[in-house]
């Protein structure tokens, strides 16, 4: 059955890869992109979302979201990874046409979830500020979503603990208070963190092939990924890039690709470990215990990377041939 998703995103190179994956796959109806600060400013990210809608003739609504975290001081755009405007060397013109939804992202999320009770999957691949604001304004949406899928966090599986600090992943580090609220809310969350996203790689060869086989969409992914590959080669020492945000979409399409583990999840909100995600794995009730009263959430700890890469490639090639 087709799943309706709202994709909350900070576009972003791997965000664009995820957006196009969601647009391409027939099992997903991409209802909206809601934007959030993160990889780039909210202005640049929102312009990038409008550009994708225009270039790929997407039906999705675009709603502009939060420009800063709930409480912490902003970390600032990650230019070293995504370039100054978010798509690496590929610059979107200032004159992108296309209408934004008039509502702020959090209000768009509330209204859409209420209009389609139990049908909307919220997929968030940036800082969780918009989701936290939606929960604050309308806590009842927690009972009305189908599910929540997050790309973020790191739990130490497969030795993956952090990418912006030794113990924090970027999306959670950008707004730890928002993440803690989202993980503690009474809705079903699946967390696709570095534990699995750093186990899959788009190699330079894979992206070359996609450019060859997937027409305009393959060319676009090739163009935006040049800068990203240089970052990975120069700073991480890899001939390819991790598959962060597209992994959250892969989970929506085929959860069987992943192994998950249940337990309440909290986020460290202050100090040097700010942004660290910690899952409680035992059933003991401690004298001081700020996990046990929280809902058990699913954390991905294993992935079939080969099948995930095949799914992405096939989805984009099939989509390209239908255009």
Under the rule (CB under 6 A), what is the footprint of ligand RIB? Answer: 10, 12, 14-15, 38-39, 125-126, 151, 163, 169-171, 244-245
Nearer to Ca ion, 82 or 266 (CB): 82
∠ CA 162-203-310 to the nearest 5 degrees?
Answer: 100
Catalytic annotation, pick one of 25, 82, 177, 244: 244
Q: Which of 126, 176 has the CB closer to ligand RIB?
A: 126
Least distance from ligand RIB to the Cβ atom of residue 13, Å: 7
Taking the complex as a whole, the smallest distance from the CB of residue 202 to ligand RIB amounts, in Å, to: 13
Q: Is 246 in the site for Ca ion (CB under 5 A)?
A: no
Closest CB 114 distance from Ca ion, rounded Å:
26
Interstrand relation of 147-151 and 120-124 (parallel, antiparallel or unpaired): parallel
126 binds Ca ion (CB under 5 A): yes
Query: Can you tell me the distance from the alpha carbon of 256 to that of 188, in angstroms, rounded to the nearest whole number?
Result: 17
Provide the minimum distance between the beta carbon of 118 and ligand RIB in the complex, in angstroms, as a whole number: 27
Nearer Cβ to ligand RIB, position 12 or 65? 12
Segment interacting with Ca ion, rule: CB under 5 A, options 69-77, 136-144, 160-168, 237-245: 237-245
118 counts as catalytic: no
Burial of 270 (0-12, 13-18, 19+ CB in 10 A): exposed
Q: Give the integer Cα–Cα distance in Å for 300 and 255.
A: 10
Stretch that binds Ca ion, among 15-23, 152-160, 292-300, 304-312 (CB under 5 A): 15-23
Of the pair 41, 294, the CB lying nearest ligand RIB is at 41
Residue ranges of alpha helices (H) inside 3-142 are: 13-24, 42-55, 79-82, 105-115, 129-137
Place of tokens 């939606």: 134
15 belongs to the binding site for Ca ion (CB under 5 A): yes
HEC-encoded secondary structure of 248-268: HHHHHHCHHHEEEEEECEEEC
Q: Which residues contact 190 (CB under 8 A, 6 or more apart)?
A: 147, 148, 149, 150, 251, 255, 260, 297, 298, 299, 300
Between residues 12 and 176, which has the closer beta carbon with respect to ligand RIB? Answer: 12
Q: Which helix (H) or strand (E) holds 12?
A: none
Query: Applying CB under 5 A, which residues contact Ca ion?
Result: 10, 12, 15, 125-126, 245
- Report the catalytic residues: 244
């Amino acid at each position: 059955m087709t799943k309706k998703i709202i994709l909350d995103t900070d576009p972003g190179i791997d965000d664009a890869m995820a957006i196009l994956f969601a647009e391409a796959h027939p099992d997903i109806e991409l209802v909206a992109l809601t934007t959030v600060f993160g990889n780039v400013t909210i202005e640049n990210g929102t312009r990038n979302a409008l550009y994708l809608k225009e270039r790929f003739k997407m039906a999705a609504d675009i709603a502009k979201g939060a420009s800063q975290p709930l409480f912490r001081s902003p970390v600032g755009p990650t230019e070293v990874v995504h370039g100054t405007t978010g798509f690496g060397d590929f610059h979107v013109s200032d004159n992108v046409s296309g209408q934004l939804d008039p509502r702020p992202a959090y209000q768009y999320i509330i209204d859409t979830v209420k209009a389609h009770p139990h049908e909307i999957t919220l997929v968030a691949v940036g800082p969780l500020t918009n989701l936290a604001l939606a929960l604050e304004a309308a806590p009842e949406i927690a009972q009305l979503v189908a599910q929540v899928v997050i790309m973020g966090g790191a739990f130490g599986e497969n030795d993956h603990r952090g990418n912006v600090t030794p113990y924090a992943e970027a999306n959670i580090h950008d707004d730890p208070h928002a993440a803690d609220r989202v993980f503690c809310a009474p809705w079903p969350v699946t967390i696709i963190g570095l534990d699995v996203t750093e186990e899959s790689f788009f190699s330079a060869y894979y992206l070359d092939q996609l450019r060859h086989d997937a027409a305009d969409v393959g060319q676009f992914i090739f163009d935006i990924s040049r800068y990203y590959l240089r970052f990975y080669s120069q700073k991480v020492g890899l001939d390819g890039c991790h598959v962060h945000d597209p992994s959250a979409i892969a989970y929506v399409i085929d959860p069987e690709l992943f192994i998950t583990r249940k337990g309440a999840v909290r986020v460290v909100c202050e100090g040097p470990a700010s942004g660290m995600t910690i899952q409680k794995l035992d059933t003991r009730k401690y004298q001081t215990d700020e996990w046990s009263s929280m809902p058990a959430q699913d954390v991905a700890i294993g992935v079939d990377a080969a099948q995930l890469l095949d799914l992405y490639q096939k989805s984009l090639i099939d989509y390209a041939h239908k255009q």
